[in-house]
């Protein structure tokens, strides 16, 4: 029988695939180990191949894990999907933390890529109606968005 961390990792990877497939994103688990081990899950996001590294553990060195994932899958876009598990009184197995149960960790370039793809896919339709003009004025007055050049 496999050890507990291995079982947790396999379950997390399977959950990632099911969750992505459920929303129409093609994803599959990758073969583990060996020379050709690229990561845990392969998905197609915004027309690009992504390799996802699933982690189900209490602590995680984010930069190191993301860097290792990038080394394992050169040329692919990568992300780390982390489900933080902690010891909870009354449970024999570690449990997900309260709040965000699963987080996605991206490098800056991959984040910018997704934002640009989202902007390309979004069509903004503004009419001359009073409501749209008032809303645009409110947004302009907020000035909460930083300049893109910075």
Handedness of CA 64, 22, 49, 120 (dihedral sign): negative
Angle at 102 between CA 100 and CA 107, to 5 degrees: 105
pLDDT band at 144 (very low <50, low <70, confident <90, very high): very low
> Domain 4-123 maps to which CATH number in 3.90.1690, 1.20.58, 3.10.450, 3.40.1350?
3.40.1350
Give the closest residue to 69 by CA, choosing from 92, 82, 52, 86: 52
The DSSP letter of residue 147 is P
pLDDT at 99: 65
pLDDT band at 1 (very low <50, low <70, confident <90, very high): low
The predicted model scores a pTM of 0.72
Handedness of CA 94, 99, 104, 106 (dihedral sign): negative
Q: Tell me the three state secondary structure of residue 100.
A: coil
Element (H, E) at 98: none
**Tens digits of per-residue pLDDT, 86-139?**
666 776 666 666 667 888 999 999 999 989 888 887 754 444 455 555 555 554
pLDDT at 44: 93
pLDDT at 149: 40
**Tens digits of per-residue pLDDT, 5-64?**
788 888 889 999 999 999 999 999 998 777 778 999 999 988 889 999 999 888 889 999
pLDDT at 148: 37
Distance (Å, whole) CA 127 – CA 4: 57
Domain parsing of the chain, residue ranges = 4-123
Burial of 73 (0-12, 13-18, 19+ CB in 10 A): buried
């Amino acid at each position: 029988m496999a050890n507990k961390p291995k079982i947790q990792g396999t379950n997390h990877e399977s959950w990632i695939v099911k969750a992505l497939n459920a929303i129409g994103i093609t994803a599959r688990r990758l073969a583990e180990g060996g020379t050709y081990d690229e990561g845990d899950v392969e998905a197609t996001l915004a027309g690009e191949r992504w390799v996802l590294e699933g982690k189900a553990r209490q602590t995680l060195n984010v930069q190191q894990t993301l860097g290792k994932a990038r080394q394992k899958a050169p040329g692919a876009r990568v992300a780390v999907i982390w489900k933080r598990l902690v010891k909870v009184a009354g449970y024999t197995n570690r449990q997900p933390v309260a709040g965000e149960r699963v987080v996605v960790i991206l490098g800056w370039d991959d984040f910018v890529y997704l934002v640009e793809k989202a902007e390309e896919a979004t069509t903004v339709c503004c009419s001359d109606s009073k409501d749209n003009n008032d809303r645009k004025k409110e947004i302009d007055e907020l000035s909460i968005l930083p300049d893109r050049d910075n």
